[in-house]
């Protein structure tokens, strides 16, 4: 079978350069039949690169979309596979690491997650805290980057839906927290 990653209902295939288009389509159809929840097949067309670690993909077969909802560790993440770095292969690592962090946190602790992207680490941590340690009062702050136009603060939220995009002025009250 062709090496692939699955993010949500999208399979990302990795073909050798010399593979013909007809063979790629044949393999895409085969995977679509074998894995029922897959709706879109894309081909990884370039290596992950850049400061934001984005990848480029080319549509091969199925529904023509690059946006999906990925489910892991009882959490859901809405993402575009070409616009966001995300690795589904880190799912079990995220879970075990977040379980260890949640266990070690003392009541009234604050957690800061830097460069969080779509925030899988803080969301998984919040979910674990809510289900396994509901009496702990923990505040989780998550920042995408320190760019003045792209900063996100996500309060303790298992779904991450109450996060808000903001600017650097909103970040200023949190700067003492960073000391």
Q: pTM for this one?
A: 0.73
pLDDT at 149 over 80: no
Q: Are 140 and 156 in contact (CB under 8 A)?
A: yes
Give domain limits for the chain: 4-73+77-86, 89-178
% the chain with pLDDT above 70: 78
Q: List all residues 6 or more positions away from 17 whose beta carbon is below 8 Å from its beta carbon.
A: none
Say what the pLDDT of residue 3 is.
Answer: 77
Angle between helices 120-132 and 91-104 (to 10 degrees): 50
How is residue 172 annotated by DSSP? G
Token readout for 162 is 């109450």
pLDDT band at residue 178, thresholds of 50, 70 and 90?
very low
pLDDT score recorded for residue 55 = 82
Tens of pLDDT, residues 46-79: 777 666 677 889 999 999 999 999 999 999 989 9
Question: Looking at the predicted structure, is the pLDDT value of residue 153 above 60?
Answer: no
Taking residues 81-99, what's their average pLDDT? 90
- Region 78-83: mean pLDDT is 89
DSSP letter, residue 105: P
Question: What's the topology of domain 4-73+77-86?
Answer: GMP Synthetase; Chain A, domain 3 (3.30.300)
pLDDT digits (tens, 9 = 90+) for 117-145: 888 999 999 999 999 999 999 999 888 75
Written as one string, the DSSP assignment of 48-101 is -BTTTTB--EEEEEES---EEEEEETTEEEEEETTTS---GGGHHHHHHHHHHH
């Amino acid at each position: 079978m062709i090496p692939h990653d699955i993010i949500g209902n999208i399979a990302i295939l990795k073909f050798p350069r010399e593979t013909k288009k007809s063979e790629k389509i044949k393999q895409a159809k085969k995977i679509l039949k074998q894995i029922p929840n897959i709706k879109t097949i894309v081909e990884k067309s370039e290596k992950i690169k850049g400061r934001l670690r984005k990848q480029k993909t080319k549509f091969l077969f199925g529904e023509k979309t690059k946006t999906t909802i990925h489910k892991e560790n009882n959490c859901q993440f809405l993402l575009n596979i070409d616009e966001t770095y995300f690795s589904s292969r880190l799912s079990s690592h995220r879970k075990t690491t977040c379980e260890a962090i949640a266990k070690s946190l003392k009541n009234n602790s604050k957690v800061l997650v830097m460069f969080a992207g779509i925030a899988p680490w803080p969301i998984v941590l919040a979910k674990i805290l809510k289900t396994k340690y509901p009496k702990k009062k923990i505040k989780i702050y998550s920042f995408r980057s320190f760019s003045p136009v792209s900063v996100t603060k996500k309060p303790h939220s298992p779904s991450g839906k109450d996060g808000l995009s903001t600017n650097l002025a909103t970040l200023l009250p949190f700067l003492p927290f960073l000391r």
